[in-house]
Amino acid sequence: MLFLLLVMRLVHILLGVFWVGTVLFTSIFLLPAARDAGAEGAKVIGGLGRRISAVLPAVAGLNILAGLWLFWRVSGGFQPAFMHSGTGVTFSFGGAAAIAALVIGVVVARPAMMRAGALAESAARAPAAERDAQLAEAERLRLRAGAASQVVAVLLVLAVAAMALARYV
């Protein structure tokens, strides 16, 4: 049982580092730089967005499942005494923030980014009359994805802070 605990903890930490690091890098550096680069930046986001959108939800989902298993284990099966303790409340808050981040990422950010990428690619081949409308819509969607990514980033920072501090609360 100790081996499984160590594996799950390692999985949870490594996947969490990857998830949070990717979201922070994307929302703080990549999306603003791509926006500043204009049409060329949209091409980069289109290609990279497909890869990130394929991998990140799976990483986040596995991270949350590992975290739930660890939480179940440390709480003795979600015993009320533990769940009402400072540690239990803090772990619960962190887990809820991570789950909310996953939902916002999958329901808002991912579809907006995927659609913006598709529109940017389509605009490159579209007649001039349609191109401007498609590029404007792609920009609106990129802004929506960027705003959602910033919300996800804040939620993930809160989740990491809760996980780091829970044992001491």
User: Is 80 exceeded by the pLDDT of residue 141?
Assistant: yes
Mean pLDDT of the chain: 92
How many other CB atoms are found less than 10 A from the CB of residue 84? Answer: 11
Ramachandran class of 29: left when φ > 0, alpha when ψ lies in -120 to 50, beta otherwise: alpha
Q: Where are the domains of the chain?
A: 2-168
Which residues, other chains included, contact 121 with Cβ-Cβ below 8 Å and sequence gap of 6+?
A: 46
H helical segments located in the chain: 2-25, 31-37, 39-74, 80-83, 86-104, 110-125, 128-165
Average pLDDT for 51-74 = 95
pLDDT tens, residue by residue, 74-127: 999 999 999 999 999 999 999 999 999 999 999 999 999 888 888 877 887 888
pTM for this structure? Answer: 0.91
Which amino acid type is present at position 5? L
What local confidence, expressed as pLDDT, does residue 78 receive?
97
